[in-house]
């Protein structure tokens, strides 16, 4: 090989980008946390709509409306816990993110329970608002 050909070959070898190693476990966890953030956002919006409707219609000041308001307040407390758990999983909170798979699964199980319970409370309140709005 000539010297010119050798330097060209070296130049092309140097131009090859170095592959980045991706930890699939961390990527899956990150994607899963992002999915929960999206779910949290949808539930927060539904809860906010229900509270706004309850207040704007004046139904909050009735016996059934007060009960619905308490349910929405409980749902909001659940959502605050969800935010804390999501921050913990994303290593954004005060408590370090768990490392063991069983700890991570326990947090996701609690997230599912809280979000399901919150959705039930919000749906129950929405149904109650529909029924009260008909009167």
CA 82/CA 116 separation, integer angstroms? 11
Residue among 107, 100, 111, 105 nearest 36 (CA): 111
Handedness of CA 115, 121, 123, 129 (dihedral sign): negative
Structure confidence at residue 50 (pLDDT)? 85
CA 85/CA 57 separation, integer angstroms? 34
Beta strands in the chain (DSSP E): none
Average pLDDT (20-36) is 84
Structure-block tokens of residue 75 = 């749902």
Q: Are 68 and 53 in contact (CB under 8 A)?
A: no
CA 46/CA 124 separation, integer angstroms? 12
Highest mean pLDDT among 5-9, 41-45, 120-124: 41-45
pLDDT at 7 over 60: no
pLDDT at 4 over 80: no
CA 40/CA 123 separation, integer angstroms? 15
**Residue pLDDT, tens place only, 75-132:** 999 999 999 888 888 777 677 777 888 888 898 999 999 999 998 888 888 888 777 7
């Amino acid at each position: 090989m000539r010297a010119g050909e050798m330097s060209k070959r070296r130049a092309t070898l140097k131009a090859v980008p170095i592959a980045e190693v991706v930890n699939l476990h961390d990527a899956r966890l990150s994607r899963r946390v992002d999915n929960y953030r999206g779910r949290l956002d949808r539930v927060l919006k539904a809860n906010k709509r229900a509270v706004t409707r309850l207040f704007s219609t004046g139904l909050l000041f009735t016996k059934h409306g007060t009960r619905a308001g308490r349910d929405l307040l409980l749902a909001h407390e659940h959502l605050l816990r969800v935010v804390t758990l999501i921050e913990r999983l994303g290593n954004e909170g005060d408590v370090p993110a768990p490392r063991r798979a069983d700890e991570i699964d326990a947090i996701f199980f609690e997230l599912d329970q809280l979000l399901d319970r919150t959705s039930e409370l919000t749906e129950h309140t929405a149904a109650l608002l529909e029924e009260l709005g008909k009167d």
